[in-house]
Amino acid sequence: MYLSGAGLVRWRLTALPVFAGVFLLILNSGVASGFCQDAAVAVASEEKPVPTAAFQSCFGPSLGQEVLRSISPGQQIVKIFHDELTALLGGDAQPLVLSAPARIMLVGLHGAGKTTSAAKLALLLKKQGKAPLLFALDLHRPAAIDQLATLAKQVGVPIFRPVPGETDLLPVGRAGLKWTESQTGNVQIFDTAGRLEIDDVLVAELKQLRDFLQPQEVLLVCDAATGQQAVTVATHFHQALGLTGLILTKLDGDARGGAALSLREVTQQPIKFAGVGEKIDDMEPFNPDGYVEALFAS
């Protein structure tokens, strides 16, 4: 399980207080899970009004459906809530687009989990019968190259390492592609540098690299704990780089959940993977339905 009710509640309270009424209805209906109780208590303490227009836009289509007679009104509301959230998150799990030469570029802020996710992704792809290659293209933090090399060894995947002291990203990218000629891999995963906050120089550099590599996938790695900051970051990276998806990391931590909905909303791109721990196999394809299911079970 990678989502707590409290995390979603925090998001909903700021984004759409309309759920207040719904939570309270669920609670009163006697089918409330721990999550709903958390939510109802939190909502009750907020004393926020329930805007009718927002309620209609969110639940209108569902409420127009004929009410199923076999389940109680409370269960019906839980189902509507479940279906709406799943739809908000994009419905089905979205696979990677990997046509040859398959290239995946990972971008994001410092500490978001790019390097770790690069190796986790390599392992996942390897388990699917692919032959991934890793590229250490963080030239800003020398330790990042060693970090990826250690992880690459752990997952048994070849790694391209830049010449020490190299600072110019494009020639390194070019050397990386040259290196692939001696390799048999069929999916290339590029780790890149992060920054403490959005930085125009970094983004311009990444843009150049993206133009050169022409990756099918540009995935923003986002720390789930960063909340609203993640939304600003995602907006900026999406405008600059044209993201094709996201990896939401640290969903095993305390501040979980809310960011997923906001990130999806501002980028209109799917969350493709979820980081659920520090171990190398702690990453899974992001499944909106399972995510919402976990929410109701918490």
Ligand X SMILES: Nc1nc2c(ncn2[C@@H]2O[C@H](COP(=O)(O)OP(=O)(O)OP(=O)(O)O)[C@@H](O)[C@H]2O)c(=O)[nH]1
Contact footprint for Mg ion (CB under 5 A):
114-115, 144
From Mg ion, ligand X, none, interface partner of 252 (C-beta below 5 to 8 A by class): ligand X
Residue with tokens 């659920």: 276
Q: Note whether 261 and 295 are within 8 A (CB).
A: no
Rounded to the nearest whole angstrom, what is the least distance from the CB of residue 194 to ligand X in the complex?
A: 3
Q: Which of 18, 112, 222, 294 binds ligand X (CB under 6 A)?
A: 112
Task: Tell me if 261 contacts ligand X by CB under 6 A.
Answer: no
Q: Which helix (H) or strand (E) holds 124?
A: helix 114-127
Q: Which of 249, 262, 267, 298 binds ligand X (CB under 6 A)?
A: 249
Task: Tell me if 176 contacts ligand X by CB under 6 A.
Answer: no
Site for ligand X (CB under 6 A): how many residues?
A: 22
Q: Which is nearer to Mg ion, 115 or 249 (CB)?
A: 115
Q: Which of 46, 211, 278, 281 binds ligand X (CB under 6 A)?
A: 278
Task: Tell me if 162 contacts ligand X by CB under 6 A.
Answer: no
Q: In angstroms, rounded to a whole number, what is the distance separating the alpha carbons of residues 35 and 277?
A: 22
Radius of gyration of the chain (CA): 21
Rounded to the nearest whole angstrom, what is the least distance from the CB of residue 118 to ligand X in the complex?
A: 8
Q: In angstroms, rounded to a whole number, what is the distance separating the alpha carbons of residues 192 and 4?
A: 31
Q: In angstroms, rounded to a whole number, what is the distance separating the alpha carbons of residues 240 and 154?
A: 33
From Mg ion, ligand X, none, interface partner of 272 (C-beta below 5 to 8 A by class): none
Residue 63: C-alpha distances to residues 20, 25, 75, 150, 186 (Å):
16, 14, 13, 53, 48
**Long-range CB contact pairs, 205-208, < 8 A, 24+:** 205/169, 206/105, 206/107, 206/240, 206/241, 207/240, 207/241, 208/169, 208/170
Q: Note whether 253 and 288 are within 8 A (CB).
A: no
Q: Which of 5, 7, 90, 108 binds ligand X (CB under 6 A)?
A: 108
Q: Note whether 48 and 20 are within 8 A (CB).
A: yes
Task: Tell me if 250 contacts ligand X by CB under 6 A.
Answer: yes
From ligand X, Mg ion, none, interface partner of 285 (C-beta below 5 to 8 A by class): none
Query: Per-residue x/- mask for ligand X, residues 201 to 240, rule CB under 6 A?
Result: --------------------x-------------------
Q: Which of 194, 245, 270, 288 binds ligand X (CB under 6 A)?
A: 194
Instruction: Report the SS3 class of residue 100.
Output: coil
Rounded to the nearest whole angstrom, what is the least distance from the CB of residue 45 to Mg ion in the complex?
A: 39
Rounded to the nearest whole angstrom, what is the least distance from the CB of residue 161 to Mg ion in the complex?
A: 14
Q: In angstroms, rounded to a whole number, what is the distance separating the alpha carbons of residues 231 and 66?
A: 36
Rounded to the nearest whole angstrom, what is the least distance from the CB of residue 90 to Mg ion in the complex?
A: 27
Task: Tell me if 116 contacts ligand X by CB under 6 A.
Answer: yes
Q: Which positions touch ligand X (CB under 6 A)?
A: 108, 110-116, 138, 141, 144, 194, 221, 249-250, 252-253, 275-278, 282
